[in-house]
Chains A and B, each alone.
Chain A
Amino acid sequence: MEHGANVLFSIGPLEVTSAVTTMWAIIAVLTLLSWLATRSLKEVPGPLQSAAEIAIEKLRGYYEELLGREHARKYFPIFATFFIYIIVCNYSGLLPGAGHLKGFALPTASLSVTAGLATVAFFTTHVIGVRERGLKHYFLSFAQPLYLCFLMLPLNLIEQFVRPASLALRLFGNMYGEETVTEKLYEIFPIGVPLIMNVLSLLFCLLQAMVFTMLLSIYVSEAVEEE
């Protein structure tokens, strides 16, 4: 919920808010970390490389369970990107100073960010669907069974467009709500009490990243499945 108050500066018509600068920082940190981890790949990995390997292995196992081996291998990069990016964004809100310092705010507590993520997720689903099943086949699947197509087509289309909206609202609502509740608790009693909410946030941040990517992979597996 930004009302132009926390615009830092603007590039042409684009207004750069604290959320945007935080995302730039996150992108830079993630890029640097992955560059450091893969700079000199060794047979016997060092600490950073083995940490990265364990994380990627776990993520891959998680998606193979959801999507099946073949599709999970093929589209792993986009799912892993979504997961890692969202989870780092969520956890960035727990760092001291988030939301108070200029140019540092929880990115996923802004509807524009989550709507952007959901838009990418929407196109991901349909591009993968068309690639796997062909244009005609994929779009005909929205009108199945054919004798009920006048009923099923509008229903399916509405569902397709509600999905990104619910993805965006869920992530935004959870993160924004958490932040607001912590803030209100701080106003009521500043010592110790907001900590309870912060501990819960540790769990919820992970859960929201998991739910976002799990729903995305369910949508994708629906898009690629053959009847």
Chain B
Amino acid sequence: MASGTIALAAALALALTAAATAIGQGITASKAMDAIARQPEAAGSIRGALVISLALMEALTIYGMLIAFMLIGKI
């Protein structure tokens, strides 16, 4: 019972954070593409900001993944 619940919790920890982060990253990337299409000369600085914001969002998934690994270690 307990290990089953832990496994479910680990799966949810990763799945929920990944889903939410994917939505956020999708919005960010599409806005950045819009911006580059509108102003191709600003592509360099837009790309820099895009990478930073994607990495910051990515960190949230990583936190979820860390928790998932910790939980799996407990089974």
Interface of A toward B, CB cutoff 8 Å = 65, 166, 169-170, 173-174, 176-177, 180, 207-208, 210-211, 214-215
* Residue numbers in A under 8 Å from B51 (CB-CB): 207, 210-211
Say whether B59 contacts A177, CB under 8 Å.
no
A211→B65 contact, CB < 8 A: no
**When the two chains form the complex, which single residue of A65, A170, A176 contacts B59, counting CB atoms closer than 8 Å?**
A170
- Interface pair B55/A207, CB less than 8 Å apart: yes
Chain B residue nearest to A172 (CB atoms) is B66
**Closest B-chain residue to A66, C-beta based?**
B48
B16 at the binding interface (Cβ < 8 Å)? no
Q: In the complex, how many residue pairs between chain A and chain B have their CB atoms under 8 Å apart?
A: 34
Does B12 have its Cβ within 8 Å of any Cβ on chain A?
no
Smallest CB–CB gap between A180 and chain B, Å? Answer: 6
How far is it, in angstroms, between the C-alpha of A208 and the C-alpha of B59 when the chains are bound?
10
B42 touches A (CB below 8 Å) = no
Shortest beta-carbon distance from B74 to chain A in Å: 13
Shortest distance in angstroms between A86's beta carbon and chain B's nearest beta carbon?
13
State whether B55 touches A211 (Cβ < 8 A). yes
List, in ascending order, chain B residues with CB within 8 A of A208's CB: 55
Whether A211 and B62, one on each chain, are in contact in the complex, defined by CB atoms closer than 8 angstroms, is no
Check if B65 sits within 8 Å of A173, measured CB to CB: yes
Alpha-carbon gap, A109 to B65, bound state (A) = 14
26 contacts between A and B (CB under 8 A): A65-B48, A166-B59, A169-B59, A169-B62, A169-B63, A169-B66, A170-B55, A170-B62, A173-B59, A173-B65, A173-B66, A174-B58, A174-B59, A174-B62, A176-B66, A176-B69, A177-B62, A177-B66, A177-B69, A180-B69, A207-B51, A210-B51, A211-B55, A211-B56, A214-B52, A215-B52
CA distance A205 to B66 in the complex (A): 18
Query: Given A176-B69, A177-B65, A180-B69, list of 20 further CB < 8 A pairs?
Result: A169-B62, A169-B63, A169-B66, A170-B55, A170-B59, A173-B59, A173-B62, A173-B63, A173-B65, A173-B66, A174-B62, A176-B66, A177-B62, A207-B51, A207-B55, A208-B55, A210-B51, A211-B51, A211-B52, A214-B52
Residue numbers in A under 8 Å from B59 (CB-CB): 166, 169-170, 173-174
Q: Which residues of B contact A174 (CB under 8 A)?
A: 58-59, 62
For the complex formed, measure the closest distance between the CB of A59 and the CB atoms of chain B, giving whole angstroms. Answer: 14
Chain B residues, Cβ within 8 Å of A207 = 51, 55
Chain A residues near B66 (CB, 8 Å)? 169, 173, 176-177
In the complex, how many angstroms separate the beta carbon of A202 from the nearest chain B beta carbon?
15
Smallest CB gap from A177: residue in B: B65
The proximity string for B residues 51-75 relative to A, scoring 1 for CB distances below 8 Å and 0 otherwise, is: 1100110110011011001000000
Rounded to whole angstroms, the CA-CA distance of A210 and B50 in the bound complex is 13
